[in-house]
Structure 1
Amino acid sequence: MNGHRIDWCFGFAFDPRTFHAWIAVNGQPVTDNADDPVRSTYQQVLTV
């Protein structure tokens, strides 16, 4: 739309039953103020 690439990311937390998916633009997660911090909470394992 504005020349930005959007990546769909998937990751997990230390607890193996906790996982999360998010979008990222230029390698930075797109989050809301109410969201947990992605980089310190989840280990990214897949980007599409």
Structure 2
Amino acid sequence: MQASERDFRVALVKDAVSQVTDSALSELAGIGVEILDTTALEERLAEDVQSD
């Protein structure tokens, strides 16, 4: 069973991986992977902590 089938949120932090192409990022986004950079991830995590 895939993570997306279990309702998990899947993200890729694009500035934390090497040798990723724009084509690969587009493909991942097309299957529901959220593409973030580290700043956006930090902001998202801070929002989640504040909402708890």
Q: What TM-score range do you get, normalising by the shorter chain?
A: under 0.3
Compare the two structures and name the one with the higher strand fraction.
Answer: 1
TM-score, length basis structure 1: 0.24
Compare the two structures and name the one with the higher helix fraction.
Answer: 2
TM-score, length basis structure 2: 0.23
Q: Which has the higher contact order (CA 8 A, sep 6+)?
A: 1
The structure that has the greater radius of gyration is 2
